[in-house]
Amino acid sequence: MEAVKFAVTCNKNDNRILKKQARAWALQLQVPYVKRYDNGSLDAMLSDYHLDALLIAGKKGPQLYSREGMMLYHPGLGKVRWQRVVQRNENDNFLTAMHLSPGQRVLDCTVGLAADALLASHAVGETGKVVGLEASLPLWFLTSRGVISYKSQIPELVQDLQRIEIIHAEASAFLKTLPENSFDAVYFDPMFRQPVRKSSEMVPLRPLAFPEPLTLEMVELALKAAPRVVIKERSVEILQEYGCTEFVGSKYSAVRFGIRKRQ
């Protein structure tokens, strides 16, 4: 799969510190640094430089811009779900399917903006471990920086985010490197690549996502690494094709979580 083409730039009239930071990011990511147009849109820069996206160094941290819009890191609905679970003691279908307990190790193979990983991090606590994989380089950069620097008036939420380790890797390749029983649960959300609705908060990032299809081989590799694999999908029939035998969902949601356990 061809990598996302992107470059680093700054906001207009940014100071020397941010310009220096932008150049450092470009060097780290081994992508071009381009000067922000004095007159002209970001879309014009995308066209002129033949780019899919721009990584912008701003006062509030990194931002990603594609033709679908601008994105500053935020855990999105993950924050709302976290508040429902932690502050209101409500159930969450993801957590029900994952069946996590303090001290366990979780691998999220499609971490995105770490919305699900945030809930997993809270469930496994300080003694546990959550690793998230992101194959898209610009999205990895946004999320890996975001979980560290995200500001909130809820200290526990910030702590749960900061414990998540974000790794730049393709899931299929990463799974092949894992010894047996490296994790207690492995999670896949292939739906991240297919929005439920056009107004989804993820729309600006979808052109930048790495559309790696989930294969039965990947599920089998995940089962070697962990005794429990959870997959998010809209169709029970598709989940059955991956070998799932248990399903979690509700009448209020179009999605289902399929569970496959090691025999």
Q: What is the pLDDT of residues 182-240, one digit of tens each?
A: 999 999 998 655 555 544 666 777 778 887 889 999 999 999 999 999 999 989 999 99
CATH number for the domain whose boundaries are 77-261? 3.40.50.150
**pLDDT the model gives residue 199:** 44
**pLDDT the model gives residue 1:** 53
Which of 77, 54, 214, 221 is CA-nearest to residue 142? 54
What count of Cα atoms within 13 Å lies in the side-chain half-sphere of residue 78? 22
Q: Do domains 6-72 and 77-261 have the same CATH topology?
A: yes
Q: Which residue has the tokens 């207690």?
A: 184
CA distance 80 to 230: 21
- Per the CB < 8 A criterion, the answer to whether 196 and 254 are in contact is yes
**Domain range summary for the chain, segments of one domain joined by +:** 6-72, 77-261
**Number of Cβ within a 10 Å radius of residue 53:** 24
Are β-strands 6-10 and 105-108 bridged in parallel, bridged antiparallel, or unpaired? Answer: unpaired
Residue type, position 161, single letter: L
| Cβ within 8 Å of residue 212, ≥6 positions away | 1, 135, 170, 171, 172
Q: Given this structure, which CATH class describes domain 6-72?
A: alpha beta
**pLDDT the model gives residue 201:** 64
Q: Which residues of 85-108 are buried (b: 16+ CB within 10 A; e: fewer)?
A: beeeeeebbbbebbbbeeebbbbb
pLDDT tens for the 263 residues of the chain, in order: 567 899 999 988 778 999 999 999 999 999 999 999 988 899 999 999 999 999 999 988 999 999 999 999 999 899 999 999 999 999 999 999 999 999 999 999 999 999 999 999 999 999 999 999 999 999 999 999 999 999 999 999 999 999 999 999 999 999 999 999 999 999 999 865 555 554 466 677 777 888 788 999 999 999 999 999 999 998 999 999 999 999 999 888 889 999 999 98
